[in-house]
């Protein structure tokens, strides 16, 4: 990653710490949203791998680096290979335009921190 960005390890640490703090605050609607967010990517009519690719592309066109990082990690865990990822990146790039490019650069840098499937 570039110098000003978090390592994957720092991202994970911050994410887990803050998620725990948010859930402990006890706002029922927020906690329900977090539970729903998890369930939405579980196996259904579409396989988990496809759902994670959907989450990845949605995150890229909405330009959320942390969301992209999360779904890249999950995509790799589900066995998505480089060629498949770049196909998904291409859809995000064409749908979302050149403003997606900085996020694509950071996504590709993030991939270097993740083991290939």
Binding of its own copies at residue 3 (CB under 8 A)?
A: yes
Binding of its own copies at residue 72 (CB under 8 A)?
A: no
Give exposure, 60-72, as e/b (b: 16+ Cβ within 10 Å): bbeeebebbbbbb
CA distance 86 to 67: 17
**Residue ranges in contact with its own copies by CB under 8 A:** 2-6, 10-11, 14-15, 18-19, 21-22, 25, 27-30, 32-34, 36-37, 39-41, 44-46, 50-51, 53-55, 57-59, 61-67, 81-84, 86-102, 104-106, 108-109
């Amino acid at each position: 990653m570039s110098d000003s960005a978090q390592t994957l390890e720092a991202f994970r640490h911050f994410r887990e710490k803050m998620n725990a703090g948010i859930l402990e605050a006890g706002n029922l609607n927020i906690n329900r949203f977090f539970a729903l967010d998890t369930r939405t990517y579980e196996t259904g009519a579409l396989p988990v791998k496809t759902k994670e690719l959907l989450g990845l592309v949605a995150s890229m066109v909405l330009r959320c680096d942390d969301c992209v990082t999360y779904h890249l990690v999950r995509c790799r865990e589900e066995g998505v290979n480089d060629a498949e990822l770049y196909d998904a990146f291409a859809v995000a790039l064409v749908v979302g335009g050149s403003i997606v490019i900085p996020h694509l650069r950071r996504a590709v840098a993030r991939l270097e921190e993740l083991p290939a499937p």
